Amino acid sequence: MTKKEIFINSAFKENAIWSQILGICSALAVTNLMMNSLVMGLGVIFTLALSSSTISLIRDLIPKRVRMMVQTLIIASYVIIVDLILKAYMPQMSKALGPYIGLIITNCIIMGRAEAFAGKNPPLDSMIDGIGAGVGYTVVLMVIATIRELFGFGSLFGIQILGEWFTRWSIMVMAPSAFFVLAVLIWIIHGPIAAKVGK
């Protein structure tokens, strides 16, 4: 596979959310605001790129039996580094995201890519695969967040779009709505779109 194919494969064909149904917990939790989703997505892309390439770099040294422990250790370290950098240089953002950053550790996509790709492929390919998976995740998050923020708050990226006449749908602000939006999204992709692309 070429680098481009690796990227397209992990970002879209094997998209973590709609095709593997991984990382759903965070997709439900952070998507009521677009800004939160974007920063969460960037955090995941950064962590994925670093953890996938690191794991790939030492893949021949990792004893098979303890590989999960090693993966968790590496992922957790990078997440803490992201957290420290945000705290030191982007305190406002760090405050807004608070507990979400720590949640990146438990994002199954990262360990999923480590297991499925980084453990078997060279570092650069793994990094591209990680970035691809992160981008795929971020795209889905942004789509859900756009719908939820627009109907829940009447705004996009915090900028009011819909006027006073608009009655906010409180359900969109709460987590259950993400289930509905995500389900409809997965249905559209697996139904009409897959039929067109000819999956």
For other proteins, the binding residues (CB under 8 A) are 29-30, 32, 58, 61-63, 65-66, 69-70, 73-74, 77, 80-81, 84-85, 87-89, 91, 98-100, 173-175
The helix/strand count (H/E) of the chain reads as 11, 2
Residue 59 CB, nearest approach to other proteins (Å): 12
Cβ closest to other proteins, residue 174 vs residue 194: 174
Residue 1 CB, nearest approach to other proteins (Å): 29
Amino acid identity, position 172: M
Residue 166 CB, nearest approach to other proteins (Å): 19
Cβ closest to other proteins, residue 80 vs residue 116: 80
Residue 154 CB, nearest approach to other proteins (Å): 17
CA distance 55 to 112: 12
Q: Write the DSSP symbol of residue 97.
A: H
The two structure tokens encoding residue 31: 């998507």
**Which DSSP string do the residues of 82-140 spell out, in sequence order?**
HHHHHHHH-HHHHHHHTHHHHHGGG-HHHHHHIIIIITTS-HHHHHHHHHHHHHHHHHH
Residue 14 CB, nearest approach to other proteins (Å): 28
CA distance 75 to 50: 8
Instruction: For CA atoms 198, 22, 47, 37, give the dihedral sign.
Output: positive
Cβ closest to other proteins, residue 61 vs residue 195: 61
Cβ closest to other proteins, residue 10 vs residue 59: 59
Cβ closest to other proteins, residue 75 vs residue 128: 75
